[in-house]
């Protein structure tokens, strides 16, 4: 994902507050204010993502609730930040609060099986 308008310190604080890791955190834009990273789960942390076929926990991957809580924490620290994920772009805290719940019910597909993010949370 990419974040514009938040500092490295704010990103790290939001990750600590929600108990997730920021993998490969780096500045990705020439402007010096865009960060790229992915979110990972601590080995015994909250927010396990389960395989839709087997129900097994997928090591290191974070479920929908983990992303939601990380975004909430970050927007509390940087309310005007822009977060761009593979699914959505949120333009600040107000936009996120208005729309984030819709992503829980978006239909996704894996190996021909249709599911929503909450079904694997």
Residue 40, strand partner residues: 21
Q: 20-23 contacts: CB < 8 A, separation 24 or more?
A: 20/45, 20/47, 20/62, 20/66, 20/70
| Among candidate residues 77, 79, 76, 102, the one with its CA nearest the CA of residue 92 | 79
101 or 111: which leads in pLDDT:
101
Average pLDDT over residues 23-28: 94
Predicted local distance difference test score (pLDDT) of residue 121: 46
The gap between the terminal CA atoms of the chain, to the nearest Å, is 19
Residues 49 and 61 sit within 8 Å (Cβ to Cβ): yes
Residue-wise pLDDT tens digits, 69-98 = 999 999 999 999 999 998 889 999 999 999
Give the integer Cα–Cα distance in Å for 49 and 33.
30
Give me the number of domains the chain comprises.
1
pLDDT(114) > 50? no
Q: How many residues does the chain have?
A: 121
% of the chain with per-residue pLDDT over 90: 52
Predicted local distance difference test score (pLDDT) of residue 111: 54
% of the chain with per-residue pLDDT over 70: 83
| Among candidate residues 36, 29, 40, the one with its CA nearest the CA of residue 8 | 36
**Residue the block writes with tokens 């208005």:** 98
| pLDDT interval class at 6 (50, 70, 90) | very high
Residue 36, strand partner residues: 2, 26
Average pLDDT over residues 92-110: 79
- Give residue 31's domain range: 2-120
Average pLDDT over residues 23-38: 88
Q: What is the pTM of this model?
A: 0.84
Arithmetic mean of pLDDT over the chain: 84
């Amino acid at each position: 994902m990419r974040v514009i308008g938040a500092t490295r310190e704010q990103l790290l604080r939001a990750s600590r507050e929600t108990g997730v890791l920021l993998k490969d955190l780096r500045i990705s834009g020439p402007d010096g204010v865009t960060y790229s990273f992915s979110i990972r789960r601590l080995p015994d942390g909250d927010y396990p993502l389960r395989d839709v076929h087997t129900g097994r926990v997928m090591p290191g991957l974070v479920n929908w609730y983990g992303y939601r809580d990380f975004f909430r924490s970050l927007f509390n620290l940087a309310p005007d930040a822009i977060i761009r994920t593979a699914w959505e772009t949120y333009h600040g805290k107000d936009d996120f609060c208005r729309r984030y719940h819709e992503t829980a019910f978006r239909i996704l597909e894996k190996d021909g099986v249709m599911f929503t993010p909450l079904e694997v949370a």
